[in-house]
Chain A
Amino acid sequence: MQRNFISITDLSKDDILSLLHDAARFEANPNQRLLEGKVVATLFFEPSTRTRLSFETAANRLGARVIGFSDPNSSSTSKGETLKDTIKMVSNYADVIVMRHYLEGAARYASEVTDVPIINAGDGANQHPSQTLLDLYSIWKTQGTLDDLDITMVGDLKYGRTVHSLLQALSFFNPRFHFIAPDLLRMPNGYRDFCNRHNLYFDESEVFDVNAIAHTDILYMTRIQKERFSDLREYEQVKNVYTLRNAMLAATKPNLRVLHPLPRVNEIAYDVDENPKAYYFQQAQNGLYAREAIICRMLNIDLK
């Protein structure tokens, strides 16, 4: 059976939970030479240093060798080679391919042209499933469960693919969603429909204040990008309204954790960093364990 990790929507509830348990094993012991003699290819048709380093560190800590490129200008893509041909060529060398591409659907297509497992490290604005898995791992680890949680998502809910994928993945776990965004960046219709179809509770608000986060378990902040606004004055207003400050966390639940996919710009004030409820840096670190789990799963490595 061919294994691929393309879209979070391909995963069942059991798939998600067993990957989280695997990630916990790697957190307990990140250096396990399970992939001795294996070659992991990292093909970055679009630069993404953060994601690439995380995957390459995961491969290295598992004892695999890494080949690939971090900049498409240095590969034959710049000579006009099709995606299919690049994937076919690399398939001759690697045991698993991690790929990032600016075109949406590129990873699914790649999985159709090769028998080597494909791990999607981001395809345009579509999916970035390893990010979603590390988000889930961070929630699971800090809350002790994924079930019945209050999840508040703040910021750019329209274009933010991380919130969309997280919403889909959490649909198995009876969450209560609270969407806080300016009208221009509210959660798209399709995802509100998704919640309705799956009988998931959600409410929406444009107000981000102490009351809005008083009862939440997870506060998932996202970056509001300047480019989304045609009127820059509107951006300047919005950007300060959707900023989390340390004082706002005083009255929140003790188990609350603040997540952010990073990079952050100004949506989380620096005074939050020292608050024990700030979790975004550990969240990024969890990416390593999640990616070790994903790579081993793709190669059918038994962790027992």
Chain B
Amino acid sequence: MSEKKELEVSAIKNGTVIDHIPANVTFKIVQILDLYNHPGAITIGTNLDSITLGRKGIIKIADRYLTDEEIGRLSVVSPDVTLNIIKDYQIVEKKYVKYPKQIIGVVKCTNPKCVTNHQPIPTKMEVFDMNQKSLRCIYCERVMQYGEIELL
């Protein structure tokens, strides 16, 4: 049975597989990691059957390993994903998202009067409450729920 699932999205030789993505944020991850500009092969699957999530997404990125900063960005949209590090078709390491201290760039502040929406400066967010899934803008101090977050 698991073999059949593997066939839904083809394997990669080297790179990163992001698995257990809630299906509704698959393309947000593409955006957050700026995969549009990745020169290597990328396989994106979404609305795949999943026992735990119902519908899940999976992204396979050939020849790319994510930095800790990039993995930290994923906390904003899908903190529960699994990252499989692939070398020569084998999973050599599994990584999980750690909440970073600060998220720079990536997320737009929802406060229309925030200085980051009017001056040429990157946003800076800190994780405000991990359990309630909220971020706080370090400039205007606005607290945002993950559900209302907009990406830059």
A residues with CB within 8 A of B: 7, 9, 82-84, 101-106, 108-109, 123-127, 190
Contacts and interface: CB of A to CB of B under 8 A. Distances in A.
A104 B119 contact: no
B141 A126 contact: yes
B118 interface: yes
A191 to B, nearest CB: 11
B7 interface: no
A108 B113 contact: no
Contact of A108 (B111, B138, B142, B143): B138
B121 A104 contact: no
Given A108-B139, A109-B139, A124-B140, A103 B120 contact: no
Contacts of A83: 115, 119
B137 A105 contact: yes
A105 B143 contact: no
B139 A125 contact: no
A23 B8 CA distance: 70
A103 B141 contact: no
B143 A126 contact: no
B115 A106 contact: yes
Smallest CB-CB A-B distances: 5 pairs: A105-B139, A104-B140, A105-B140, A105-B115, A103-B115
Interface string B102-118: 00000000010111101
Contacts of A105: 114-116, 137-141
Contacts of A82: 119-120
A80 to B, nearest CB: 12
A190 B143 contact: yes
B113 A104 contact: yes
Interface in B43-66: none
B111 A104 contact: yes
Interface string B16-60: 000000000000000000000000000000000000000000000
9 contacts: A103-B115, A104-B139, A104-B141, A105-B115, A105-B138, A105-B140, A106-B115, A108-B115, A109-B115
B140 A126 contact: yes
Given A102-B113, A104-B114, A7 B141 contact: yes
A129 to B, nearest CB: 12
Nearest to B117: A103
Nearest to B142: A104
A127 B138 CA distance: 12
Given A104-B115, A108-B138, A109-B121, 20 more contacts: A7-B141, A84-B119, A103-B115, A103-B119, A104-B113, A104-B139, A104-B142, A105-B115, A105-B116, A105-B140, A106-B139, A108-B139, A109-B115, A109-B139, A123-B115, A123-B140, A124-B113, A126-B140, A126-B141, A190-B143
Contacts of A124: 113, 140
Query: Most chain-A Cβ atoms within 10 A of its Cβ — which of B115, B120, B142?
Result: B115
Contacts of B139: 104-106, 108-109
B13 to A, nearest CB: 44
Contacts of B113: 102-104, 124-125
Nearest to A197: B129
A125 B111 CA distance: 11
A190 to B, nearest CB: 6
